[in-house]
Amino acid sequence: MRFALNEPITDWSRQRVWIVGASSGIGAALAQGLLQAGARVTLSARRQGELENIAAAHPAAAVVAFDVTDAQAWPQAMASALEHLGHIDLVVLGAARYDPCHSWEFDLDQVEKSFDLNVVSMYRGLSTIVPQLLRQGHGGIALIGSISAYTGLPRALVYGATKAALNHVAQTLYFELAPKGLAIYLINPGFVSTPMTAINEFEMPGLMTPSQAAAAIMSGFEKGRFEIRFPRGIAGLLRWLSRLPDRLRFPLLHKLTRM
């Protein structure tokens, strides 16, 4: 395809996928979408019961429950995923927490936990996943970020910063690993109706269902995109705003967010 930075995925029945963060929200919906499309999927998260509920309806699914914040657990989880899949065509890393807060009310304990789960755990995973994919000579890694990474936003002091870090990580991964034959994807969702966003007390523009988000992600994989952002309206607006000069961007953001 014209704008493909990765090899487009054209046949899900040939794909073996490991989803980390598959117990609820976007991860669970993506797992169900991929399984319905014919992919073979290993489901991972801490909550084994939720994973088993998804796997029960799909013979091509297997469950590997583990805590992504435990660096020692990653090699065994990888071994278990490989035992089920044989090899890995795609890993989706989506475990995260959401702690909305203003700059005058943040909690340092929450900050540390957010960065540990949202960012440091990605490095824990990458330290195991990247060598395996390089040994295979093929495969892809998808990081689930957020459009909140584009620019500073109200109550995004912590969450937005963690997702901005993942945007940088994904870009570096693509720069270094695409020449070695690996596919890298950066998934930047807007607001999706999940247990995480249920705590928001404001109207969320462009709110999508998890199944809609999963469909957008799969479409991005199928088109070989590097960045998969959605929904188009709010994602495109924030991306455009992030590129404006500061003297224009900040007044516009204040007007749009009414802050």
Catalytic positions, written as ranges: 159
> Which CA distances in Å does 155 have to 96, 142, 165, 206, 207?
17, 26, 17, 18, 18
- State how far the Cα of 126 lies from the Cα of 259, in Å rounded to an integer: 38
- The answer to whether the CB of 192 falls within 8 A of the CB of 25 is yes
> For the purposes of burial, counting CB atoms within 10 Å of the CB of 72, is it exposed (0-12), middle (13-18) or buried (19 or more)?
exposed
Phi, psi of 189 (to 5 degrees): -80, 155
- State how far the Cα of 177 lies from the Cα of 54, in Å rounded to an integer: 32
